[in-house]
Structure 1
Amino acid sequence: MNYGYIRGSTGDIDKENQRKTISAIAKKRGLKINFIEDTVSSGKSFEQRQISTLIEQARKDDLILVAELSRFARDTEETLKIGRLALEKGINLEILNPSIRFDNSIATKAIITVMGLSSEMERYFIKSRTRISLQHRKELIKKNGFFRNKDGEKVYQLGAKKGKKQTLKLEPKKEIIYDYLSKGLSKVSICKLLSNEKDGKISRGALDRFLKRFPFDGQKILFK
């Protein structure tokens, strides 16, 4: 049996392009293709996507054609994982762009070795970037007493202390916030009023986090 695996959201024009790419190769080789469509996001794990079901159901010597590597797996490690599963079952797996084949050839063994090394390098670089980022934030806290997150908010410590909730940025302004809320001001207006040169821009997310911990009910303040 010959399969063509294509993935994309419903109505995605790229799905049709994938189908055309696979169909063109199949026509040249004289193959009849059974297409398997997947609409699950690539952000989902391999086990949650149709490719997992296809690998499980396919039999020895079956062929699976994939048009694009980016539509097939999230990263090198996952590509390697799926490729090895196919090899264990004797399934021929071929990615057309870039050209990668998982079969019983010597070339496949070389690809697996290289991809395995690449996967290790990816993990190393991710860990390295994380370590450097944490070190930089620690230095900023030591020097300035805080660092700014991606929302521009000041963060005064890394993580929350065990057994204790991290102090929210807006807690010192709680009485002002409650006063604004009691007057019927919108969250957008409150954020604008709270923003200043010292504290920077107050995001809607910061206000939502504050109100989640300290809900406001009319004139009454409820603490969790």
Structure 2
Amino acid sequence: MARIGYARVSTTDQDLQTQLSKLKAEGCEVIRSEKVSGGSRDGRAELATIIDFLRPGDELVVTRLDRLGRDTRDVLNLIYECEQRGAFVTVLDPHVSTRGEMGHIVLTVLGMVAQMERRFIKDRQREGIEQAKRGGVYKGGKPRFDRVRILELGKRGIGPSDISKTVGCSRMHVYRVLKASRNDDPI
């Protein structure tokens, strides 16, 4: 039986160290971590690796339930997958485990709270942006990629795949920028 820790933060500028320290202090022999959004399971390769690795009697440990996910259905599906492998899930804060029926109930409620919190955050963000727009303060998000550079490379005859690698964006973004420039549309 192994205790396997999973740590996650949403953005690359956030720090994993606090979670890693707590998981290590809890006796996790293996700890996997990643910097990716918890809104869905897409792109969460480390979590997928842990789920594949779980054996009967193993325990998946997270510091908080929202590290597993912010969608109730997704969290419950993860717990179900662990149980299908004969493994348990333990959340450290608040301390809850799927080893008993009460743990299942508490984790379901906590998952619903995490999902509700995510909706509240999005609502507050949307309201703040609308208020800033009305006040003439909001200028939109800062551009993530150099549109001018994409256009320059496109004019030189470089293909979208090579442009996306050079600029560090998706091919779809390159296609959008090139199409908008042909139509003289702002992006």
Alignment TM class, shorter chain as reference: 0.5 to 0.7
2:171: which partner in 1?
none
Q: How many residues align?
A: 135
Is the alpha carbon distance of 1:11 and 1:56 closer, same or farther for their aligned partners in structure 2, counting shifts above 3 Å? same
Residue number among 106, 115, 128 corresponding to 1:111 in the alignment: 106
Look up the match of 2:184: 215
Alignment check: 8 A CA contact 1:18 1:68 kept? no
Aligned-pair Cα RMSD in Å? 4.0
Q: How far apart in 2 are the matches of 1:65 and 1:72?
A: 10
Structure 2 unmatched runs, 5+: 124-129, 141-179
Check 1:102–1:34 CA distance in 2 against 1; reply closer, same or farther (3 A cut).
same
TM-score, reference length from structure 1: 0.46
Instruction: Give the aligned partner of residue 41 of structure 2.
Output: 46
- Which residue is 2:76 aligned to? 80
Alpha-carbon distance between aligned partners in 2 of 1:114 and 1:201, rounded to the nearest angstrom: 41
User: SS of 1:90's equivalent?
Assistant: coil
Rounded Cα–Cα distance in structure 1 between residues aligned with 2:59 and 2:3: 5
Aligned equivalents of 1:203 and 1:215: distance in 2?
24
Contact 1:93 1:101 in 2 (8 A): yes
Deviation, structure 1 residue 101: 1.2
Counterparts of 2:13 and 2:138 in 1: how far apart (Å)? 35
Q: Distance in 1 between matches of 2:110 and 2:138?
A: 42
Relative contact order, higher structure (CA 8 A, sep 6+): 2
Q: Counterpart of 2:91?
A: 95
Shift of 1:39: 2.1
3-state SS of 1:4 partner: strand
Q: What amino acid is aligned across from residue 110 of structure 1 in structure 2?
A: I
- Give secondary structure in 2 for the equivalent of 1:87: helix
- What's the CA shift string for 1:40-65, capped at 9, x where partnerless? 2324x214212123112211111111
Specify the SS of the correspondent of 2:63.
Answer: strand
For 2:57, what is the secondary structure of its paired residue? coil
Query: What SS class does the counterpart of residue 37 from structure 1 fall into?
Result: strand
- Name the counterpart of 2:168: none
SS of corresponding position for 2:36: coil
Aligned equivalents of 1:6 and 1:34: distance in 2?
Answer: 11
Q: 1:48 to 1:106 in 2, by over 3 A?
A: same
Per-residue deviation at 1:88? 1.8
Alignment of 1:177-216 (within 5 A): 201=136, 212=180, 215=184
The residue type equivalent to 1:85 in the other structure is E
Relative distance call for 1:107 and 1:11 in structure 2 (3 A) is same
Residue 10 (structure 1) shift: 5.0
Superposed CA offset, 1:90-130 (max 9, x none): 11111101222123x222343366468x47x95xxx7xxx9
Using a 3 Å threshold, how does the CA distance of structure 1 residues 47 and 10 change in structure 2: closer, same or farther?
A: closer
**2-side partners of 1:69 and 1:62: how far apart?**
18
1:64 has 2:60 as partner? yes
TM-score (norm 2): 0.54
CA distance in 1, matches of 2:64, 2:107: 18
Larger radius of gyration: 1
**1:143-167 deviation per Cα after TM superposition (whole angstroms, max 9, x unaligned):** xxxxxx56647xxxxxxxxxxxxxx
Partner secondary structure for residue 42 of structure 1: coil
